[in-house]
Amino acid sequence: MVTIVLGAQWGDEGKGKIVDFLSAEADVVARYQGGANAGHTVVHAGRKFVLHLLPAGVLWPQTVNVIGAGVVVDPVALMTEIAQVEAAGISLEKRLFVSHQAHLIMPYHKLLDQLYESQSDRPHIGTTGRGIGPAYVDKVARVGIRIVDLLDRDFVREKIRAAVGDKNRLISRVFDAQQLDVEAIVEEYMAFDQKIDPYVKDVSVLLSEAVAAGKEIILEGAQGTLLDVDMGTYPFVTSSNPTAGGACTGLGIGPRKIDRVIGIIKAYTTRVGEGPFPSELGPADGGIDLRERGDEYGATTGRPRRCGWFDGVVARFAARVNSVDVWALTKLDVLTGINPLKVCVGYEDGTRTYKHFPSDARILSRLRPVYEELPGWTEPLGEARNLGDLPQAARDYLGFIQEFTEVPVAMVSVGPSRHQTIVR
Across 131-268, the runs of DSSP E, i.e. the strands, are: 200-201, 217-220, 260-266
> Active-site residue 40, yes or no?
yes
The CA distances from residue 60 to 28, 49, 65, 122, in Å, are 10, 13, 10, 44
Rounded Cα distance, 390 and 373, in Å: 19
Phi then psi for residue 206, to 5 deg, are -55, -45
Cα dihedral sign, 62-72-117-112: positive
Helix (H) or strand (E) holding 231: none
Rounded Cα distance, 362 and 180, in Å: 38
Rounded Cα distance, 277 and 268, in Å: 12
The three state secondary structure string of 127-170 is CCCCCHHHHHHHHHCCCCCEHHHHHCHHHHHHHHHHHHHHHHHH
Rounded Cα distance, 20 and 28, in Å: 12
Helix (H) or strand (E) holding 107: helix 107-118
Peptide bond connecting 304 to the previous residue in cis, omega within 30 degrees of 0: no
Helix (H) or strand (E) holding 348: strand 341-348
Phi then psi for residue 96, to 5 deg, are -130, 130
* Dihedral Cα 393, 395, 399, 401, nearest 10 deg: 80
Peptide bond connecting 198 to the previous residue in cis, omega within 30 degrees of 0: no
Pick from 252, 409, 424: which is nearest to 315 by CA? 409
What is the distance of C-alpha 381 from the center of its chain? 26
| Active-site choice (40, 52, 100, 109) | 40
Rounded Cα distance, 96 and 82, in Å: 9
Rounded Cα distance, 148 and 90, in Å: 27
* Dihedral Cα 357, 362, 364, 367, nearest 10 deg: -140
> Active-site residue 12, yes or no?
yes
| Residues with catalytic function | 12, 40
